[in-house]
Amino acid sequence: MEKIFILDTTLRDGEQTPGVALSADEKLKIAKALEKLRVDAIEAGFPASSSGDFDAVKLVAGEIEYSTVVALARTVPDDIEKAGQALERAKKARIHTFIATSPVHMQYKLKKTSDEVLKIAVEAIKLAMEYTDEVEFSPEDASRSEIPFLLEIIHAVVEAGARVINIPDTVGYSTPDEFASLVEKVKDCVSCMDNVRVSVHCHNDLGMAVANSLAAAKKGARQIECTVNGIGERAGNAALEEIVMAIKTREDFFNYYTEINTKQIYPVSRLVSHLTGIPVQPNKAIVGKNAFRHQAGIHQDGILKKTTTYEIITPSSIGLEQSELVMGKLSGRHAFKDRLSTLGFTLEGEELENCFDAFKKLSEKKKEVFDEDLILIVEEHTVRIPQVFILDYIHTVTGNKILPTATVRIRKGDKLYQEAACGDGPIDAAYKAIDRICKLELSLLDYSIQAVTRGKDALGEVTVKVKRGDNLVSGRGSSTDIIEASAKAYINAINRFLYRYVKEKEYESYTG
């Protein structure tokens, strides 16, 4: 079997999801999880886009050993120089440069002729080769490009030194047969492709990103670019978990393999969901909450007799355990650490102690503590966003004939601040009280709540999205009390906003 290389672009294209803004520490946490997943390449960011992204790529490049660290750059000298500088400490580095080749992009966006675009692309490859001998080139919007020019520019950049040629379906326009045919033309019609890896990067605007990627693999693509949970620009990208499990489950059809450690798929999915603030839809293939749940009586009967009647993938193959009651208030630190290890988390020192303390507090509230509870505890207590504001106390009064009111006390440093407010409901009242303390004019765009565990005493998880100006952030909070979870989620979003968008010189004016 031939190997399919997996390039994960969660940290670059995935971060382009509206409302997602990852800190450098969060990017590093995801990158380390991706390395444990054994992806071949991690596209860590776009260094020229901001100083924060430059620092994040530099941080990831210095810490990752197994996977190739990739930095994106336009075919602009300054972009390429910044990408090269950000990758200086990488064990294995690649610069990925791109320029649009479709008529609509060249005419209206670039305002350049095809000859000008070709010349710029070749010069960019030569410059990138000064920083690393592994250079990837993407003709942006390839699926809407004219074939003769597409083949011409690919031939030119390969001659200049590019060793990975990525064919992007940038706007999710193509269909599986059409896209496979395009990849086949690239493989067959460019004479110098013998030592070059063909890659594909498909968007999901028409819901065919995974199908297009796999169809391209059948026609010679040997690298697939994808994201965890399929997140990304607009409708997102090809989902890593779907690509990998399709190849693994249908080896008989594809006759390919990947190096992915599939038992890490579920933990990585949860981590990305938590840090980006994007819940995984229940019916999502492979990692959705309902992916291994069976309700119909006929299905249940079949599963009890033979699991393969209705399950083509085992939960354990993606790192999801089936055990019901996992831990309780009498469980010790050693058992707790061992259980986390089985779930894919390795914690030591202060992180382990913080998570163990949180587990003990939760086990006093819940009769049963499940795997999902433990995963959420780890996610909440290993994130490095500075906690400027911390919820200390909340009290609400509500009823169908009572004006809902909330009293909130918040800790900032060594000081406590308390406010009360009325609202349309207890959560609205709590948010108004929090606003009075934190003095930020934020608009609440989205609020959702779901039970992440089972039972009447289930742990509730609240996700919010807030906006100030052009800046969107998300926040999450969990508790067995949904009002407390709502307050924690809102404060988490405020802390993320301060960390991500407020400059140091302005910080005190917002938080003082």
The SS3 assignment for 29 reads helix
CATH number of 2-276: 3.20.20.70
Q: Which helix (H) or strand (E) holds 263?
A: none
Distance CA 239, CA 247 (A): 13
Distance of alpha carbon 56 from alpha carbon 64, whole angstroms:
12
Rounded CA-CA distance 442/446 in Å is: 12
SS (H, E, C) 168-219: EECCCCCCHHHHHHHHHHHHHHCCCCCCCEEEEEEECCCCCHHHHHHHHHHC
Give me 221's structure tokens. 């693509």
pLDDT digit string, tens, across residues 191-224:
777 789 999 999 999 999 999 999 999 999 999 9
Q: How many CB atoms lie within 10 A of CB 148?
A: 10
Give the pLDDT of residue 326. Answer: 44
Alpha carbon distance 315, 309 (integer Å) = 14
Sheet containing strand 402-412, edge to edge, reads: 390-399, 402-412, 415-422
Euclidean distance between CA atoms 371 and 358, whole angstroms = 14
Given a cut of 60, is residue 303 above it in pLDDT?
A: no
When the pLDDT of each residue in the chain is averaged and rounded to a whole number, the result is 89
Q: How far does Cα 86 stand from its chain's mean position?
A: 21
Cβ–Cβ < 8 Å for 69, 42: yes
Ranking 174-188, 245-259, 469-483 by mean pLDDT, the lowest is: 469-483
d(CA 24, CA 44): 10
With 0.85 as the threshold, say if the pTM is over it. no
Model pLDDT for residues 46-73, shown as the tens digit of each residue? 999 999 999 999 999 999 999 999 999 9
282 compared with 189, residue with greater pLDDT: 282
Which overall architecture, per CATH, does domain 390-511 show?
2-Layer Sandwich (3.30)
Residue 72 in contact with residue 66, Cβ under 8 Å? no
The helix (H) or strand (E) run that includes residue 483 is helix 482-501
Closest to 70 in 3D by CA, of 197, 176, 172:
197
